[in-house]
């Protein structure tokens, strides 16, 4: 049949990217203060010095694959204990040993991401490659591995509780949305000391998985109360897992009583925030899963406590 007409279609793909805002004066001031605290000449130089802790973290990222390969090699060694007949079944049925090479390739991918994190940190904190190399050399000569690391394939570090191998080796992309670094101000230091001078300056203080990190939780409460304006709100969500040699360990009802005595008034919140934990009070509890792999055959969770309290005096 003859063609009566032709329709030409052009597709244009446009990528829109938000340009991050320039650092505010507060961000610049905090970075200046942070770099001062990171200087070796600031305070006593030991393993607790902020610069030493930072170097330890960067060393951890730089040696991610080394540490994980040690565990992978251990898995390979354990597999050798299976009998020849057992290995024959495992290889023929599921190609078990292929998991070793597959995971090693993913470790390479994770190491690339770790290297990018290290490079960004060196630039931001004004640390030379030579300084990091010297720190890493000392750790290597002492036979010390990195303490911790992060990954983009987060589930390959443990081979337990997986429904399928595909679940174990799947990737996780982040962030979910572009992060504007100027929208959040990160302050390095102790919550109590860093905010000691900031009286009645905040409308809201949010403590998220935080209050049980206190050595002295009463100091946390004092700081929260002091930082808020009258009429300001304290929003909390998290467990009560006291650790780190706490001076006091409070139950939920005790926290509520102390907060009220300090001048806080608990307010009603939506049922979506959880179930009422204490009859007659306005605190709610909700399951909070952590170390979360939604496809795993296991769960780790807290009954995290949620409340909103208004500073009335």
What tens digit of pLDDT does each residue of 20-79 get? 567 788 888 888 888 888 888 888 888 888 888 899 889 989 988 988 898 899 889 988
* Mean pLDDT to the nearest integer, 234-247: 92
Residues 6+ apart with CB under 8 A from 222: 192, 262
Share of the chain above pLDDT 90, in %: 45
Q: How many CB atoms lie within 10 A of CB 262?
A: 15
Share of the chain above pLDDT 70, in %: 89
Helix H segments across the chain? 25-38, 50-62, 64-79, 84-94, 98-124, 129-141, 165-168, 191-194, 217-227, 252-262
267 vs 197: which has the higher pLDDT: 267
Scanning the structure block, which residue is given the tokens 């905010």?
195
Tokens of 236: 């909390």
DSSP string, 86-142: HHHHHHHHH-TTHHHHHHHHHHHHHHHHHHHHHHHHHHHTT--HHHHHHHHHHHHHT
- The full set of domain ranges for the chain reads 47-168, 187-311
In this prediction, residue 288 carries a pLDDT of 92
Tokens of 131: 């300084």
Q: For residue 70, give the 3-state DSSP assignment.
A: helix
pLDDT(186) > 60:
yes
Q: For residue 153, give the 3-state DSSP assignment.
A: coil
β-strand partners of 305 = 238, 285
Q: How far apart are the first and last CA of the chain?
A: 86
In this prediction, residue 13 carries a pLDDT of 56
Q: Which class does domain 187-311 fall in?
A: alpha beta
β-strand partners of 237 = 208, 306
CA pair distance 252, 246, nearest whole angstrom = 16
């Amino acid at each position: 049949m003859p063609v009566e007409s032709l329709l030409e279609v052009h597709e244009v793909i446009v990528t829109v990217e938000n340009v991050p805002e320039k650092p505010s004066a507060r961000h610049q001031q905090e970075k200046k203060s942070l770099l001062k605290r990171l200087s070796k000449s600031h305070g006593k130089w030991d393993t607790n010095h902020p610069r030493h802790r930072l170097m330890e973290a960067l060393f951890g990222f730089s040696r991610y694959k080394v540490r994980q390969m040690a565990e992978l090699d251990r898995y390979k060694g354990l597999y050798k204990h299976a009998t020849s007949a057992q290995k024959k079944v495992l290889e023929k049925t599921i190609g078990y040993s292929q998991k070793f090479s597959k995971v090693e390739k993913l470790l390479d991918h994770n190491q690339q991401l770790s290297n990018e994190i290290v490079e960004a940190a060196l630039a931001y904190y004004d640390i030379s490659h030579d300084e990091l190399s010297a720190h890493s050399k000392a750790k290597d000569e002492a036979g010390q591995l990195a303490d911790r690391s992060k990954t983009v394939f987060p589930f390959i570090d443990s081979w337990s509780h997986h429904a399928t191998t595909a679940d174990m080796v799947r990737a996780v992309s982040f962030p979910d949305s572009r992060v504007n670094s100027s929208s959040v101000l990160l302050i390095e230091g102790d919550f109590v000391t860093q905010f000691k001078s900031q009286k009645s300056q905040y409308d809201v203080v949010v403590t998220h998985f935080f209050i049980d990190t206190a050595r002295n939780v009463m100091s946390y409460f004092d700081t929260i109360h002091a930082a808020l304006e009258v009429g300001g709100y304290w929003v909390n969500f998290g467990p009560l897992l006291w650790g780190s040699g706490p001076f006091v360990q409070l139950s939920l009802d005790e926290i509520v009583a102390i907060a009220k005595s300090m001048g806080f008034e608990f307010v009603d919140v939506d049922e979506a925030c959880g179930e009422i934990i204490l009859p007659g009070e306005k605190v709610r509890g909700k399951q909070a899963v952590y170390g979360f792999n939604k496809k795993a055959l296991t769960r780790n969770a807290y009954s995290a406590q949620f409340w909103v309290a208004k500073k009335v005096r």
